[in-house]
Structure 1
């Protein structure tokens, strides 16, 4: 009986291992070519976790079938390290570097989704406590209860018809140039600011790629029409590809080192992330983070869809994210050395 059970378990293991192996190709598959396949990039964390469970199962039984999941996980080491990092990076506290914070503030809980009543004040307090040199905010709403007066320089850009939600770059360094990529027919956008830091100039992109409008609550998600949901996500993936291509073209023309911060609305296993980071950038979480690095509240599994990406020749000193209920996203922080 035990042998039969193990055969069935191994059959399921083989299917899941093949699924994970197939997912390794997703970063190289254009959403415009295979939009349905691109949607599968959202499920990669599930495949990784299930393969880890199978690996532990076979290890406990001292069974040679452990080789299958072990081999697949080793082949996709970069995928596994994108999901979870065992330890962060230690740094000399005397070396302050330049500090960065990115946060989708979800209009400071404008419609009381969280029910705290103090979200604008709490986010202001977080930013004041962390005191980043550069703070990129997405879904920014001009709330009278916020206070970011510590920043002498600011670039705020609205890309929607009602002029309410914005992308904002707050900076302690002078902004000598700024602009927007002006996405059409959407409130999502990318803006950039050229900042003078000592004798150097850095271009900072604040990114908010196309939203899927997927609920983080599994009950509400289950009640959605699956066909409509799938079509909407496929369309948003295609639009993200167009937006990422605009960003890459703009970065290619940049005369400065580039830093990309913000909400990608996509995972590190996606075509969009892979195309952007392939442009001589590196992921500060993978360089210095620890744990799951979760940046979005989702019931099923930890999602990392917000990133701070820096030029390859810039050193990452520190990375951390904050498990604080201030939005449906979590703020991320990095310290770098130019």
Structure 2
């Protein structure tokens, strides 16, 4: 959990003689009166100067996905939900989802803040801001965050889990020309150079320093040849895009796919992971069942979060489909290797309950 916040114009120094890390804020600081939770929300807005957060943690920083995702409409033209749904996981981490009636895949994007900047992971499936106002939404979140932290500007980095993935790269153009913004290049070789991975792809690890919150970039080709995953050591979250998520996983290269999952498994042996958050949700709330492609109405979805143990299952069954053109159904995802994403299978796998939902999809 988060250690502390300090209201100052320079980054805080370590607490002398401290034998432990406060689990969520420092109760000795004057903006933490009795009875309040020791988080950013306890900061009086009238304070002057910049506020620096100490991102050192004991366990994952607290956070929650407290609201259900909006699930679209049977008639997309009649939908009146927000074009971008925003959920505040905690006061430095935001999860956004594109309205399923704007694009049927309803991809997720993630906005993370540190003491020196912010990171937007992925950019959604629609380019036009009038239909998908991603930049407008991100700018509004950054403005509010900057006001609370006493900052005039917050540099932004925009990075993709895959430049090939059309469901996650279409909103990138909305950030072209934005001040104080770095857009990680989409071409594979240029992207490698940007992260310092030209000579050690895919075994190396890149970094994005947001200011005391250093997000690591792990090469994970397999669904796409340029795939990367992002690890946030503050929330202990692994952002995996299309590599592993609760849905139809279309394998681009089965050897790379298994190798990337194995690489993530090895990585998690020394890096605690609370949740895996991918790019989409395709699955119903019953095991092994997915919504039809192109549907704009997705009630009763499976939750977004996958446990880190999902890597073990994906490795096991990724090895099983390797070298074969087939569909393989598991409770939380479906693997498509060498076949169309519309391919069906009559083989229901052992160990997956065959539960029929009480409605038609």
TM value normalised by structure 2: 0.29
Name the structure where helix makes up a greater proportion of residues: 1
> Higher RCO, 1 or 2 (CA under 8 Å, sep at least 6)?
1
